[in-house]
Amino acid sequence: MSYLEQSFSVKFDYKIYFTNALFNIENTTLAHFFKERTAEGQKIYFVIDEGVYVAHPNLVHEIRSYFSVHSVIKLVPDFLIVPGGEMSKNNTALFDQIIAAVDTHGIDRHSYIAAIGGGAILDLVGYATAVAHRGIKHIRIPTTVLSQNDSGIGVKNGINYKGKKNFLGTFAPPAAVFNDEHFLTTLSDRDYRSGISEAIKVALIKDPEFFYWIEKNASALANRAAEPMNYLIKHCAKLHLEHIGGADPFETGSARPLDFGHWSAHKQEQLSNFSVLHGEAVAMGIALDSTYSFLTGLLTEDKLERILNVLVQLSFEITDAIMEIKDQQSPILKGLIEFQEHLGGKLTITLLTDLGTGKEVHKMDHQLLIKASTYIVKFVKTHAEINANSY
């Protein structure tokens, strides 16, 4: 027997920039980025979330003005405006439009496609840029809390297919991420709050002090105080980046601790036809897996109650009709099988042994999940009664 063998590694590096009013002519963050990297003939093409486009009606004008002053790269004059939200990842026609733009405008591998929007748009555009010409440089400009602190700063891209979340996708780091706090000012309260659940998630599995900070600042966060939110986004992003830079950035194994609370969240999004936001579903998934952790004896009840209370204080629903598990036929349980299929290998779920400490398990007892769901329903009822009696 004979064979040839090859082994090599590829270094990836990118920066997350934190700024305000990115396209203000006096803000040179973006211009400096291109001055350090741009060669002759490079172009930049923008894809914009329709919701952002409506909320910021001067955005296209501001971008054109910015690149007319800072002429460090050629701006493609046409802009692609696409519907935002998770449904954009279900529509392969939007993917086709991005690929058509690459062809029409001659966007090569050394040029850039910038996506401005929430996590779904970043996923969609990231996937298109990763496969067009085997990789076009991608710039992410996240506009939601969730995309600025989690999904927009990582290495994953994808679209939903055959009714399954992120069934098609790639691991492809962006060229850079620009977090502009100005975009957060026009978010609805629902979208603003949604992204906080990912900060709670990463705090619970990696950083107890961060969880204590969230507890202490829950009221300010709920009331949209800018300073604590800016801290939350930056620290959450830091924790995610530290994990991504670890031993398995492209998730070749079956362990995904950053998906704590996600097995049920992904299924709930699909079952709700994506009417439930990702962060809202994650909040319910955190509640379910934290309660399951308590019922297995891994987590004390007082710590579980702290988790549930901070979720409720931030105005999250911690269960609903879809998330309730009443018997073995409850549709949400199919999420376990789909989660395992998506990961490959054996089922690997992260549970909690403490605030800030996760533990991997490889099976979930359905009867115990039914009890966990019942516990949460009772908790919600008791909490509502206490609030009613306080008035």
What CA–CA distance (Å, rounded) separates 26 from 21? 9
Give Cβ neighbours of residue 168 (< 8 Å, ≥ 6 apart): 127, 158, 159, 160, 161
Closest CA relative to residue 310, chosen from 202, 213, 187, 209: 213
pLDDT tens-digit map of 71-104: 889 999 999 999 988 888 888 899 999 999 999 9
Beta-carbon contacts of 283 under 8 Å, excluding residues fewer than 6 positions away, are 197, 200, 261, 311, 314, 316, 317, 318
Residue 5, CA atoms < 13 Å, CB-side half-sphere: 2
Residues of the chain with pLDDT under 50: 254
Please, what sign has the CA dihedral across residues 106, 111, 117, 120?
positive
Domain 16-26+34-186 has CATH 3.40.50.1970: yes
pLDDT at 37: 81
The pLDDT of residue 391: 59
Domain edges within the chain: 16-26+34-186, 189-235+254-386
How far apart CA 22 and CA 180 sit, in angstroms, is 6
Sign of torsion over alpha carbons 184, 187, 190, 191 = negative
Q: What is the CATH number of domain 189-235+254-386?
A: 1.20.1090.10
pTM for the full predicted model: 0.88
User: According to the model, what pLDDT value does residue 356 have?
Assistant: 95
